[in-house]
Every structure is written in structure tokens, then in C-alpha cells.
Amino acid sequence: MFTLKTTDGLARRGKLQLAHGEVETPIFMPVGTVGSVKSLTNPELKNLGAQIILGNTYHLFLRPGMEVIRHFGGLHKFIGWDRPMLSDSGGFQIFSLSKLNQLSEEGAHFCSHLDGSKFLLSPEDAVNIQETLGTDIHMVLDECTPYPASEQEARRSMERSIRWAKRCRDARTRMELFQFGIVQGGVYPHLRQECAHALMEIDFDGYSIGGLSVGEPKAAMREMTEAACQVLPPEKPRYLMGVGTPLDLIESVALGVDMFDCVMPTRNGRNGYAFTSLGPVSIKQKQHQFDDAPLDPNCTCHACTHYSRGYLRHLFKAGELTVMRLLSEHNLTFYLKFMADIRHAIEQGEFDELLQAQRRIWQK
């Protein structure tokens, strides 16, 4: 169940009641692709304030496989996580590995990136796999429309996604798990809204906005998000998939989005890039060599309370794995606190002030 607590403009403050607990929205979900958020343990994630994490259907289906997941009684028990989880359908991974796949009305024919084995992932298979995982929220199988795509190509792709969405809805058997439809339509606002209306007729538990952050301009991403949010039902949660930077998050909350996921905090951390309350920091830069200041004076993570920028730079230049953990932990601390600050601002009617302040930091 989704409860909309209050709004400030179009920004929404809500709560999701799921099979494994409550999730306060707007929320950022750390990505645990293969059942683990890279370099961090579950107790560490809880200490950072992670309420829900994401698992990847495509990768988990290939390894360890559903036989293993069934043996352990579902993904939660397998990885030792007792809070909510969300899984994607595998559609984006099939899109991103396009050289290894072929789509038909039946589903996605693909070759494993691990050993070349051939598989068919149908909409019904996507539902069965995710119900086996037991994730609290799962996605329908969709066709991720590439960018650029003509209006005719985007329509053809969108219409297939709608047909697949209906098959997914018909295939579900575990009614205690949420199932989200995915709004497609390329960079064409009228297609986005047409898709949203079609999915609303099928009546999902929530709605995702997919096929964005795939190379399109930021302005187009905002426009498509706005177009979808204009017609999606206010009583259902809205999830913008695979997004993004701190500015992307708050700008999308301003349009009415409730949920986000992205590999950016951990991936960028492993590559020496930190998100801070003062703006971005590339720790590899020489200017930090003699810097005894913390990475972020307003952060309470282990890296910021124990180490200097100079030391973190030394670890990175030396290729130490420790710094990958420290920066990943820092970035997720920043993202989760950032979302908590957004929730508080909406509650206090101060969201626009926070939005303007963040624009000044991230639009430099």
C-alpha cells in the first residue's frame, strides 16, 4: 500500500507498506546487482539508512540461478537482508547487451554474457523469476527504447512493451508482491502519456518511468518525466529508473517522482569521485595531496570522520581497495541523507528553498 502523506508543489512525501517493511518516500535505492551492493555489507547499509535495495533479475537468473535461490527460500534469505527489495525485469540489461540478443513478440532471446548459453526471457518468465526471488516490488518485462529512435520506432517499441505488460499482469501469482508497469515512449511526450494511460487501464500497483538516462539530453529526460507524472495516478508510487545525479534526483522529485535507483554512488566512488554537500570532488586530483581537511565537513561517514583528503588520495593513487569501500560508503551516506533532507523539506513546506540551493551547488 502507498500512502501520500503531504505535498509541496508537485513534490510528494509518502510511505510504502511492503511485505518486508515500510519505505519512506522520496527514496533512493542502492543497487545490489548480484545480491550485494558492491564492497559494502548489509549491516553497513542499514547503518547508512538504506530502507530498500535493488537486485537484478538478469544477473541473478544467470548466476547463481533460480535453483539456488529456491533452495535458500528466496533472495532475502539468500543474501541475509530482512528489509524490502526491488528487482528489475532484466529488460535494460538485455538492451545494454544488444549484440547478444534479439527481440520478438515471444520475448527476448539472448546469449549469456558469461558463457554464451542461449535463453528466452518471456514476460511470463520475468514474472516467475521475480516471484521466485520474492522481491517486494518487481517490474514487468519491457523493451527499452534506444536513443535516438524515430517516432515510428518509439511507438512500435512502446506498443510491444504494453502488450508484454498485460502478459506480466496476467502471469502473476503472488499478490502480496507489488508489480510495477513501465512507461516507455522514447522522447515523445504524447507517446509517454499514451503509454501511461494504457498501463493505468491494466492497473498496476505502481508505475516506473523507463528508457531514460540512455543518452538523451537532460532537458528531454526532464520533459519525459514531467509528461508521465502529469497523467499517472496520484495514489500510486512513481519510480524513475536508473537516475541519477543529486540534481537529477531533486529535479525529478520536483516533478512528482517518489523512487530512484542508480549505480552512480558506488561506481563513481570506486573511481575516486565523491558527492559532497559542497559539490563534486575528484579525490585523484593533485590539489588534494597535502589537504588535511575531511572529504565533506558536513558528513558523518567513516571516511569523513577519520581521514583526510590527502590520505584518501594516497590510497587511491596506491590502488588500495580500502578507498573504494570508503568512497562508496561516503557516497551512499550522502545520497541517503540527501533524500532524508528532501523528505524533511517537503514536510516543512520548504522544498523550493532546498531545490534552489542544490541548483546553485550542482549547476556550476
Give the per-residue pLDDT at 12: 98
Q: Where are the domains of the chain?
A: 2-217
pLDDT digits (tens, 9 = 90+) for 76-127: 999 999 999 999 988 777 777 767 688 899 998 888 889 989 889 999 999 9
Known catalytic membership, residue 261:
yes
Give the per-residue pLDDT at 161: 97
Give the per-residue pLDDT at 100: 67
Q: Which of 88, 136, 205, 248 is catalytic?
A: 88
Residue 120 CA to residue 324 CA, distance in Å, equals 36
Q: Does the pLDDT at position 169 exceed 90?
A: yes
Give the per-residue pLDDT at 101: 81
Residue 56 CA to residue 171 CA, distance in Å, equals 20
**Antiparallel, parallel or unpaired: β 137-139 and 178-183:** parallel
Question: Residue 196 contacts by C-beta under 8 Å, 6 or more apart in sequence?
Answer: 183, 207, 228, 231, 232
Mean pLDDT over 298-325 rounds to 98
Give the per-residue pLDDT at 268: 98
Pair 105, 99: CB distance under 8 Å: no
- Cα–Cα nearest to 123, from 55, 57, 203, 69: 57
What is the longest distance spanned by two Cα atoms in the chain? 61
Give the per-residue pLDDT at 326: 98
Give the per-residue pLDDT at 98: 67
Pair 144, 154: CB distance under 8 Å: no
CATH architecture type of domain 2-217: Alpha-Beta Barrel (3.20)
DSSP annotation string for 144-212: ---SS--HHHHHHHHHHHHHHHHHHHHH---TTSEEEEEE--TT-HHHHHHHHHHHHHH--SEEEE-S-
pLDDT digits (tens, 9 = 90+) for 135-167: 999 999 999 999 999 999 999 999 999 999 999
Mean pLDDT over 282-298 rounds to 98
Mean pLDDT over 224-250 rounds to 98
Give the per-residue pLDDT at 225: 98
Mean pLDDT over 22-51 rounds to 97
pTM for the model:
0.97
Give the per-residue pLDDT at 107: 93
Q: How much of the chain, in percent, has pLDDT values that exceed 70?
A: 99
Mean pLDDT over 285-295 rounds to 98
Give the per-residue pLDDT at 348: 98
Q: Which of 8, 125, 205, 261 is catalytic?
A: 261
Residue 138 CA to residue 175 CA, distance in Å, equals 11
Cα–Cα distances in angstroms (integers) from residue 50 to residues 54, 121, 284, 295, 307, in the given order: 11, 30, 28, 21, 23
Give the per-residue pLDDT at 364: 76
- Cα–Cα nearest to 19, from 136, 131, 128, 103: 136
Copy the grid coordinates of residue 313.
Answer: 588520495
